[in-house]
């Protein structure tokens, strides 16, 4: 991002409102304690790449600070333009769930799905003629339960299972199930790990240790030893968890499978994810001429900012 010189504006009325590159107009937002602290933020939308213009005591500074407003995110001005409401028909939208659309919680079952997220996804799915998919490590059944009454296209369990449309049947990518003996062994081990939680899925199995982060090394070592004799499986690091999955089950492969199906085919993919489990999908989206966004890098690590941007994208902002 190019540096911009400080500019002084003696009063609120002097802040300019102008078209930026023909792609957007400056809009005032989030006035904080004016005039007591004389702090104002004005968002400049440059092909949806947003700067924050922060004014303090008459000085304006272009900044990419982490205190961004909910609808702003950090991208270099040279990055490809993001979709807007008018161009949604050209795009396919792929969204991670935990840590991206919804906030992380102490346990997988205790997450809270904001009602307005359901409404936003419903509008986007209809506007995009179904070219919106959830790409998650969660099982398909859990995705449907969390987003009920919505039923969306999805790549579940890191791409082991896909569903190309709301009314389509689930399709497995092959025999990717973790051996039953490993499941039994992990359940037994978890009883010796205070605070550990085993999450079983149709194909994979995960151990969460958010309640006891000190277990990380112990869990990682045990799972690595378990898969050491079978090169078909790997241990996947996640946020306060480790998961055993088949090597062919990754979010990038799931995205690619969906992109070969209607209504996703012939569109540009945009993927948003938050952690290392999403890197395959980011790479896949970019390889197909699309864009991959990381929540920590582009949305300040806040799912609320992802939701706010999607709300604006849906025309509800």
- The upper half-sphere exposure of residue 101, i.e. CA atoms within 13 Å in the direction of its Cβ, equals 24
Distance CA 197, CA 157 (A): 18
Bond before 5 cis per omega within 30 degrees: no
Digitized pLDDT (tens) for each residue of the chain, 317 residues in all: 333 333 333 333 443 332 222 333 333 333 233 233 223 332 323 233 333 333 333 333 333 333 333 444 566 555 678 999 999 999 999 999 999 999 999 899 999 999 999 999 999 999 999 999 999 999 999 999 999 999 999 999 999 999 999 999 999 877 899 999 999 999 999 999 999 999 999 999 999 999 999 999 999 999 999 999 899 999 999 889 999 999 999 999 999 999 999 999 999 999 999 999 999 999 999 999 999 999 999 999 999 999 999 999 999 86
Q: How far apart are CA 31 and CA 48, in angstroms?
A: 21
Are residues 135 and 144 in contact, defined by beta-carbon separation less than 8 angstroms? no
Tokens 């924050």, located at residue: 52
Q: What integer pLDDT is reported at residue 78 of this predicted model?
A: 53
CB-CB contact of 307 with 314 (8 Å): no
Q: Which of 14, 19, 96, 280 is catalytic?
A: 96
**103 noted as active-site residue:** no
Domains, in order of start, for the chain: 7-63 (no CATH), 85-174+249-313 (3.40.50.1000), 180-246 (3.30.70.1020)
CA angle 208, 146, 109 (to 5 degrees): 30
The answer, yes or no, to whether the previous bond of 35 is cis (omega within 30 of 0) is yes
């Amino acid at each position: 991002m190019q540096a911009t010189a400080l500019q002084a504006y003696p009063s609120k009325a002097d802040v300019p409102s102008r078209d930026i590159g023909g792609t957007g107009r400056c809009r005032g937002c989030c006035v904080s304690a004016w005039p007591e602290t004389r702090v104002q933020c004005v968002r400049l939308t440059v092909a949806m790449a947003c700067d924050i213009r922060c004014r303090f005591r008459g000085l304006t500074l272009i900044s990419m600070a982490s205190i961004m407003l909910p609808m702003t995110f950090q991208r270099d001005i040279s990055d490809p333009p993001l979709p807007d409401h008018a161009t949604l028909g050209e795009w396919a939208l792929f969204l991670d769930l935990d840590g991206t659309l919804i906030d992380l919680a102490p346990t997988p079952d205790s997450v809270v799905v904001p009602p307005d997220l359901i409404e936003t996804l419903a509008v986007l799915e209809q506007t995009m003629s179904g070219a919106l998919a959830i790409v998650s490590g969660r099982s398909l059944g859990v995705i449907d339960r969390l987003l009920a009454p919505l039923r969306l296209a999805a790549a579940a369990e890191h791409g082991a299972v896909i569903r190309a449309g709301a009314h389509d049947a689930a399709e497995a990518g092959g025999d990717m199930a973790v051996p039953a003996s490993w499941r039994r062994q992990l359940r037994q081990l978890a009883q010796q790990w205070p605070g550990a939680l085993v999450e079983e899925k149709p194909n994979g199995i995960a151990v969460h240790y958010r309640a006891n982060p000190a277990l990380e090394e112990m869990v990682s070592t045990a799972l690595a030893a378990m898969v050491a004799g079978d090169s078909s499986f790997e241990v996947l690091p996640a946020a306060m968890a480790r998961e055993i999955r088949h090597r062919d089950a990754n979010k990038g492969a799931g995205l690619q499978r969906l992109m070969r199906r209607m209504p996703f085919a012939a569109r540009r993919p945009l993927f948003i994810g938050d952690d290392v489990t999403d890197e395959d999908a980011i790479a896949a989206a970019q390889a197909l001429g699309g864009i991959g966004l990381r929540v920590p890098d582009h949305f300040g690590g806040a799912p609320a900012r992802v939701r706010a941007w999607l709300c604006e994208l849906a025309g509800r902002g």
